[in-house]
Amino acid sequence: DTAVSQTPKYLVTQMGNDKSIKCEQNLGHDTMYWYKQDSKKFLKIMFSYNNKELIINETVPNRFSPKSPDKAHLNLHINSLELGDSAVYFCASSREGGAANYGYTFGSGTRLTVV
Amino acid sequence: GEDVEQSLFLSVREGDSSVINCTYTDSSSTYLYWYKQEPGAGLQLLTYIFSNMDMKQDQRLTVLLNKKDKHLSLRIADTQTGDSAIYFCAELTGGGNKLTFGTGTQLKVEL
């Protein structure tokens, strides 16, 4: 009964392709996030959505487009994939008003490899 | 600097205490967190501390906060091999809307 689930877990694709990563949470949280973890394990926020509305967009290229059909889902679509997009992408969710004393709940990550 | 800084590596013997340090950036951060990441897994919240506290103890974990120096530490007592992982500190910034992570510390526990 996974709280934050991402699919796929692994994704290998060629440069120039378009791909999507899906995320769903069953915690009833209002806010969802996408983070990118690079090869040095640095974690950077990409996007944040609250009740389907974009709250944070951290200077991510336009090739990345998040979509939130409802507050339980936040999908990430990436166009024209580049080698530098290779990373682990984490979805997370939190209660209304940010993390406060509950923190974020993270999915197990999607390892994207662009060849 | 802009990054939340942590030392990259820490190696300890099983049964010893581990202390992982973090220097954060935003003096107005209300909550500070410690997360653990095991290989191939997501991030697991270990503990947190509110900014008006200077210490919090939770079983084997002790968090110390020095607001003046913007310094946060995590002490793990009686470190076990299962504690081997990457540990991230994080601060809640952006008016409570954004969790900014440190650079991560790889803890290795040796027998």
Q: pLDDT tens-digit profile of A34-54?
A: 999 999 999 999 999 888 888
pLDDT tens-digit profile of B18-69? 999 999 988 888 889 999 999 888 899 999 999 889 999 999 999 999 999 9
Cβ–Cβ under 8 Å, residues A112 and A21: yes
Name the nearest CA neighbour of A89 among A27, A32, A43.
Answer: A43
Q: Which residue of B has its CA nearest to A5?
A: B42
Quote the pLDDT of residue A95.
Answer: 83
Distance of alpha carbon A47 from alpha carbon A32, whole angstroms = 8
**Residue of A43, A49, A56 for testing the chain B interface, max B β-carbons within 10 Å:** A43
Cβ–Cβ under 8 Å, residues A12 and A110: no
Quote the pLDDT of residue A96.
Answer: 67
Distance of alpha carbon B52 from alpha carbon A33, whole angstroms = 27
CB contacts of A107 in chain B (<8 Å) are: 42
- Peptide bond before A69: cis, by omega within 30 degrees of 0? no
Quote the pLDDT of residue B59.
Answer: 95
Which residues of B fall below an 8 Å CB-CB distance to A? 30-31, 33, 35, 37, 40-45, 48, 50, 86, 88, 92, 94-101, 103-104, 106
Quote the pLDDT of residue A101.
Answer: 61
